[in-house]
Amino acid sequence: MPERQMSAPKVADGLRGANFLKVVEKVFRLLETLAQSEQGIRVSELSRVLKQPKATVYRILFTLQELGYVRQDADTMAYLCTAHAGWLTRDRANETLRQTARSQMERLLARFEQTVNLAILDRNRVFYIEILEGLRSIRMAATPMTYAPMHSTAVGKAILAFLHPVEAEQILKQRSLKKHTPKTIVLERPILAHLKRIREQGYALDNEETEIGARCVAAPIFNAHGRPVAAISISGPVNYMKSNVCSQIAKALREATRQISSQLGFVTRREYKVKAGDNDRTQSRN
Residue 39 pLDDT grade (very low, low, confident, very high; cuts 50, 70, 90): confident
> Last residue of a domain, which of 83, 107, 129?
83
Percent of the chain having pLDDT more than 70?
81
Within this chain, do residues 70 and 167 fall inside the same structural domain, yes or no?
no
Q: Are residues 159 and 106 in the same domain?
A: yes
Q: Are residues 98 and 238 in the same domain?
A: yes
Q: Are residues 50 and 144 in the same domain?
A: no
Q: How many domains, in total, are found in the chain? A: 2
Do 231 and 93 lie in a common domain? yes
pLDDT band at residue 276, thresholds of 50, 70 and 90?
very low
| Per-residue pLDDT at 86 exceeds 60 | no
CB 159 within 8 A of CB 150: yes
> What pLDDT does residue 147 have?
86
Q: Do 77 and 137 lie in a common domain?
A: no
Note whether residue 170 is domain-resident.
Answer: yes
Read off the CATH number of the domain in which 34 is found.
Answer: 1.10.10.10
Model pLDDT, residue 154: 97
Task: Give yes or no: residues 249 and 214 share one domain.
Answer: yes
- What's the pLDDT score for residue 238? 94
Residues 6+ apart with CB under 8 A from 97: 118, 120, 129, 221, 229, 230, 264
pTM of the model: 0.66
Sorting pLDDT into bands at 50, 70 and 90, what band is 260? very high
Indicate whether 28 and 119 sit together in one domain.
no
Averaged pLDDT for residues 47-58: 93
Q: Mean pLDDT across the stretch 85-110?
A: 82
Bigger pLDDT: 139 or 149?
A: 149
What's the whole-number mean pLDDT along residues 229-253? Answer: 96
Tell me: do 202 and 253 sit in the same domain.
Answer: yes
- Residues 250, 221, single domain; the answer is yes
Do 34 and 112 lie in one domain? The reply is no
Residues spanned by the domain of 177: 88-270
pLDDT of residue 271: 46
Cα distance between residue 165 and residue 111, in whole Å: 34
* 69 plus 122 within the same structural domain: no
CATH number, domain with residue 140: 3.30.450.40
Q: Please report, for residues 108, 235, 241, the alpha-carbon distance to residue 135 in angstroms, rounded to integers and kept in the order given.
A: 11, 12, 14
